[in-house]
Amino acid sequence: MNVFGLGRADLGMLALTLADELQRIAPERRADGLDEGDEDRICRCCYGLALYEQFFRSTAAAASSPLLQLGKKAGLQDVLALAPQAAVDDLAAMARLLCERYPELITRSAILNPRFDGSVEIGGADADVIVDGMLLELKTTKKDTFERVDHLYQLLGYVLLDYANEYDLDAVGIYLARRGLLVRWTIADLVDACCVNTDWASARTTFREAVARVADSA
């Protein structure tokens, strides 16, 4: 079996089957909890979809992906069985913590994996999620502190890539999933803290010009 396992078309069909199963079990966003069986199945679906994303995003990951264990007649149950119970329990614990601490995030309007006007110029970068006008980065670090300032600049970079202001972003945040902690800033406050004496409108223009120059020289 080569690096693509079942082949991209077959893998894609199984990914759609996983997505359909998620829709069947949990058709609406909800913060009131699930029964144990549905929770386990949802976590297994999420684990499987994460494997697919990793597979198609990274050649190195694809070469050692658990998806390569699937045979030609693999179906939904085979994909669900790839998730170790420890991973299922970990996902369930993080989901429960989110529902407990920030139930409003579950019910608000969300856009998954948003791409921006300027994304194509920097290799197609996409962000994690936008929730009600807030660009949110999800982190699963086990550390008790989070001091990655570069992630804040990354979030500002995503906002700047939204050339036409399609998403009308007014805030950014980092959610530490294992700690159940959301750290949020308005864009205005973050710019004041990180980019002293910077005019945001001018920064948008300068950033776009800089990205265009890099893209033209590539």
Do 171 and 85 reside in the same domain of the chain?
Answer: no
- Number of structural domains in the chain: 2
Residue 160's domain comprises: 110-217
Do 183 and 122 reside in the same domain of the chain?
Answer: yes
pLDDT given at position 1: 34
Write down which residue in 51, 79, 103 finishes a domain.
Answer: 103
Write down which residue in 103, 122, 155 finishes a domain.
Answer: 103
H-type alpha helices, the chain: 8-25, 36-57, 59-63, 76-80, 85-101, 103-107, 149-161, 187-194, 200-217
Do 99 and 114 reside in the same domain of the chain?
Answer: no
Measure Cα distances from 69 to 17, 65, 79, 85, 144 in Å. Answer: 18, 8, 9, 17, 36
Do 77 and 134 reside in the same domain of the chain?
Answer: no
CB atoms near residue 179 (< 10 Å):
18
Do 12 and 43 reside in the same domain of the chain?
Answer: yes
DSSP element (H, E) containing 111: strand 110-112
C-alpha triplet 180, 182, 184: angle, nearest 5°:
175
Write down which residue in 82, 103, 124 finishes a domain.
Answer: 103
Do 114 and 31 reside in the same domain of the chain?
Answer: no
Do 160 and 91 reside in the same domain of the chain?
Answer: no
Do 75 and 122 reside in the same domain of the chain?
Answer: no
Express each pLDDT in 58-114 by its tens digit.
Answer: 888 888 888 888 877 788 999 999 999 999 999 999 999 998 999 888 888 899 999
Residue 134: band (very low, low, confident or very high) from pLDDT cuts 50, 70, 90: very high
Residue 3 in any domain: the answer is no
pLDDT given at position 2: 38
Do 98 and 121 reside in the same domain of the chain?
Answer: no
Place of tokens 């549905």: 38
Q: What is the pTM of this model?
A: 0.82
The Cα–Cα gap between 30 and 202 comes to 41
**If phi over 0 gives left and psi between -120 and 50 gives alpha, with beta otherwise, what is residue 133?**
left
Express each pLDDT in 168-189 by its tens digit.
Answer: 999 999 999 999 999 899 988 8
Do 116 and 210 reside in the same domain of the chain?
Answer: yes
Residue 148: band (very low, low, confident or very high) from pLDDT cuts 50, 70, 90: low
Do 117 and 77 reside in the same domain of the chain?
Answer: no
pLDDT given at position 4: 45
User: Higher pLDDT residue, 88 or 23?
Assistant: 88
The Cα–Cα gap between 191 and 160 comes to 12
Residue 209 in any domain: the answer is yes
Q: How far is CA 34 from the centre of its chain?
A: 22
Do 23 and 117 reside in the same domain of the chain?
Answer: no
